[in-house]
Chain A
Amino acid sequence: MTVWIALLGGFSVLVIEILGVHLLAPWFGSSTIIWSQQIAIILLAMAVGAWFGGNVARKQANLHSKLSKVLAVAAAFFVLLAYGVDYFAAKVLPAHLSLDQVAGLFQVGSFAAAIIFFAPPVFFLSWVTPILVELRVADGSSAGQASGRLGAIATAGSLAGIYFSTFIAIPILGVRASIIAVAILLAIASLLLSKRLRLAIGLPLLGLPLLLESPSLYANMPPSSTLVESLHTPYQKLRVIEFVDTNDGSVERWLQMNEGLDSYQSRWKSTAGELSQWPGGYYDLFALLPTYIEYQQADVKPQHNYCILGYGGGSAVMPIATAEQNHPYKVVGIEIDPVVTQLAEKHMPLPQELSANIEVYSDVDARAALRFCDEEQDAIIVDAYSRQFEVPLHMATREFFDEAYGKLADGGVLCFNLGTTSTELADNVLGYVTASIVASFGSEYVRLQHVARSRNWIIFARKAKQLPPLSDMASLLPSGWPIELGASCLPAECIEGEALKLNPTSALSDDKNSLMANQFFEWARD
């Protein structure tokens, strides 16, 4: 029995640690800062719990009874947290906020929620091992042997908790059902210890909260949007939302991750049943790529090869397809989360005729995948976000941009999407990422273009050939493209030339990278 309880204790702690972040994600996101905070709070609760648990084990006479009560209390906290986080967050968070407003609030909110809902069950579960050690010692084991063996068993339980959370709880059972299931296991263990098995008849009551609809489905919804579908994946929480314009009947859908707000991972627009060529926002600037690739090339390339790192729902494809017109092209998309592409195919489908030009690979990290891409790419689009406003650290370094440079054909273009609150180069995220790209490509081959009506910049960098001068853009662009795309080509909306002669020491590297902290403080400050 002690072995199973030690196993269950270790298992339950890791389930809270991992599923806890998934409970927080719809409200507060799951940035690296929030993950670090969650781990820190769990470890603190474990340390304090083990301390108190040791004292209780030493002082108390009836340890079986004590252990039974501890497991019952932990089970109660599990049931509470399965829904408490949602109701707490829904009650306190204001509605209709934007991403640039909330970074600081989310930091405080996630900290408070984690302390209130996750620390107590972990605190009590940490009593289990000291009590079990004391019981073993009372049965004649040595203290060293008992603590060593029980520690090993609890760790094995934690290991099982990690894999259960990632491969069973999130994709199959669901986050809340899994937490309730663990609560029921803890309650059963408690009843077995106290020998009150008749009370087991009440265990199904613990599952009653599952009948309630979770408020997290509608967490941080933008105004006038409606929910189409929402689900958790091992990587993130995803949802598709919809805006319907009753004036022209157009439908706009966003694929959002985690905290949602006014941000999107993919965007899709349809009017009168016809898919728009221009999803809007920064995606439209990808239409500039064929013009940039072909500028001052001796011969027109027979086919343009695009590699999109962070393919999402494929929103980048429509502007590229529009710009390529009848020119052959091929798109290879890398999307780490396969559910993203599945959701997009279901709710944000691309025209069937484009599918012959597109190959999408999932469950693989974009930087690792780049190494296996063919050489001679004509464009590499980097639109990868590991969290809502976090560019993955390893995809914003000098070494990564060197790898991208090596994969590009002469005159090929790197195109990097950066969401930032900055509007000028300084010691900020925009400055550091730009310095890293400039270090690989050279300042004379790089241009930053601000996306109209947006907080995004697109950084274009061309391999060994200059980008077309802004003064030539009017003659290079065809008619009928969105006016906002033209706005991004106006001189005051671009940064290039002398302004890009940045301090090379600002470049980020795989070894030394301040991007994460800078991203967080930049958004929190604003």
Chain B
Amino acid sequence: MRILIAVGLMLLSSSLFAQNASLPIPHDAKSLLEYYAVSTDGPTQQARVYLSAGAAMQIDSSLVSVAALSSEDRRYRLLAACFNPSLHSEALVDANDWLTNNQQLADSASYANVVEVRDFLSEKQQQALGISDATTMFVISLASFLLVFVVVFKRYV
């Protein structure tokens, strides 16, 4: 849950949400559903709106008709992937690719936002490594204990 809150904060702090809105920005459940019903916005703007509501699966649905995804579309997909832990490792690769392919945007808020996404996903990857290390440590502790126990037992009992 806190991961998802972190993703939400990342999105809000990016200050990108209000850009290019042609319809009023939905602010509650009703206005979001009304927006969905009448929106003639392009897929990119729709993805932006759905991301603000945490509707990660709806983003892919909006972008599915787009023949060639723009860098902004890809950024939204990256943000949506942050909500789904099973997509994190794939999204980290995509985030690095995005940053490599969009060097010209280095001073933009979008670029800074993807850096945040990349850092978030890197932290997740580090945590995964930490879990792997901890698993190994448990196994080593167990093996060491059994060895010591058997040696002491044979020696004194």
A positions within 8 Å CB-CB of B: 52, 56, 88, 92-94, 96-98, 100-102, 104-105, 108-109, 111-113, 115-116, 120, 222-223, 262-264, 281, 421, 423, 450, 452-455, 471, 473-474, 477-493, 526
Q: A481-B28, A481-B29, A493-B57 are in contact. Are A101 and B2 (CB under 8 A)?
A: no
Whether the Cβ atoms of A492 and B55 lie closer than 8 Å is yes
B residues less than 8 Å from A484 (CB atoms):
29, 53-54
The size of the chain B interface, using a CB distance under 8 A, is 48
Complex: chain A residue closest to B61, CB-CB = A492
Neighbour of B28 across the interface among A116, A486, A493, CB < 8 A: A486
Whether the Cβ atoms of A115 and B146 lie closer than 8 Å is yes
Neighbour of B27 across the interface among A88, A102, A483, A489, CB < 8 A: A483
B positions within 8 Å CB-CB of A: 1-5, 7-8, 26-34, 36-37, 50, 52-58, 60-61, 83-86, 127-128, 130-131, 133-135, 137-139, 141-142, 145-146, 149, 157
Whether the Cβ atoms of A482 and B141 lie closer than 8 Å is no
Whether the Cβ atoms of B141 and A487 lie closer than 8 Å is no
CB distance from B122 to the nearest CB of A (A): 14
Whether the Cβ atoms of B4 and A454 lie closer than 8 Å is yes
Q: A92-B134, A281-B1 are in contact. Are A116 and B54 (CB under 8 A)?
A: no
Q: How far, in angstroms, from A421 to B86 measured CA to CA in the complex?
A: 8
A residues less than 8 Å from B4 (CB atoms):
453-454
Whether the Cβ atoms of B26 and A115 lie closer than 8 Å is no
Whether the Cβ atoms of B26 and A486 lie closer than 8 Å is yes
A residues less than 8 Å from B26 (CB atoms):
483, 486
Apart from A116-B145, A483-B27, list 15 A-B contacts with CB within 8 A: A52-B157, A94-B127, A96-B2, A108-B135, A108-B138, A112-B138, A453-B5, A453-B54, A453-B83, A471-B37, A480-B28, A481-B29, A491-B58, A493-B55, A493-B57
Quick one: which of A96, A108, A113, A222 has the most chain B CB within 10 A? Answer: A108
Whether the Cβ atoms of B141 and A454 lie closer than 8 Å is no
- Can you name 30 A-B pairs with beta carbons within 8 Å? A92-B141, A94-B130, A98-B2, A108-B138, A109-B135, A111-B138, A111-B142, A112-B142, A115-B146, A116-B142, A116-B145, A120-B149, A222-B1, A222-B2, A264-B1, A450-B57, A453-B7, A453-B8, A477-B30, A478-B30, A479-B30, A481-B28, A482-B28, A483-B29, A484-B29, A484-B53, A486-B30, A487-B29, A487-B58, A492-B60
Whether the Cβ atoms of A105 and B33 lie closer than 8 Å is no
Q: How far, in angstroms, from A115 to B83 measured CA to CA in the complex?
A: 37
B residues less than 8 Å from A480 (CB atoms):
28, 30
Whether the Cβ atoms of A487 and B32 lie closer than 8 Å is yes
B residues less than 8 Å from A222 (CB atoms):
1-2
Whether the Cβ atoms of B131 and A94 lie closer than 8 Å is yes
Q: A483-B52, A490-B50 are in contact. Are A423 and B57 (CB under 8 A)?
A: yes
Whether the Cβ atoms of B28 and A98 lie closer than 8 Å is no
Whether the Cβ atoms of A474 and B1 lie closer than 8 Å is no
Whether the Cβ atoms of B1 and A262 lie closer than 8 Å is yes
The 5 closest A-B pairs by CB, nearest first: A486-B29, A452-B54, A486-B32, A474-B33, A492-B61
Quick one: which of A94, A115, A479, A483 has the most chain B CB within 10 A? Answer: A483
A residues less than 8 Å from B55 (CB atoms):
452, 487-488, 490, 492-493
Complex: chain B residue closest to A115, CB-CB = B142
CB distance from B4 to the nearest CB of A (A): 4
Q: How far, in angstroms, from A55 to B28 measured CA to CA in the complex?
A: 74
CB distance from A350 to the nearest CB of B (A): 22
Q: A102-B131, A483-B53 are in contact. Are A88 and B30 (CB under 8 A)?
A: no
A residues less than 8 Å from B3 (CB atoms):
98, 262
Whether the Cβ atoms of B29 and A101 lie closer than 8 Å is no
Q: How far, in angstroms, from A222 to B3 measured CA to CA in the complex?
A: 10
A residues less than 8 Å from B149 (CB atoms):
120
Q: How far, in angstroms, from A112 to B138 measured CA to CA in the complex?
A: 6
B residues less than 8 Å from A281 (CB atoms):
1
B residues less than 8 Å from A488 (CB atoms):
55
Complex: chain A residue closest to B140, CB-CB = A112
Q: How far, in angstroms, from A482 to B29 measured CA to CA in the complex?
A: 5
Whether the Cβ atoms of B27 and A474 lie closer than 8 Å is no
A residues less than 8 Å from B85 (CB atoms):
98, 100-101, 421, 455, 526
Complex: chain A residue closest to B29, CB-CB = A486
Q: How far, in angstroms, from A346 to B47 measured CA to CA in the complex?
A: 42
A residues less than 8 Å from B139 (CB atoms):
108, 112
Q: How far, in angstroms, from A108 to B3 measured CA to CA in the complex?
A: 24
Whether the Cβ atoms of B131 and A97 lie closer than 8 Å is yes
A residues less than 8 Å from B34 (CB atoms):
474
A residues less than 8 Å from B61 (CB atoms):
491-492
Whether the Cβ atoms of B135 and A115 lie closer than 8 Å is no
CB distance from A152 to the nearest CB of B (A): 28
A residues less than 8 Å from B142 (CB atoms):
111-112, 115-116
A residues less than 8 Å from B134 (CB atoms):
92-94, 105, 109
Whether the Cβ atoms of A452 and B141 lie closer than 8 Å is no
CB distance from A56 to the nearest CB of B (A): 7
Complex: chain B residue closest to A127, CB-CB = B157
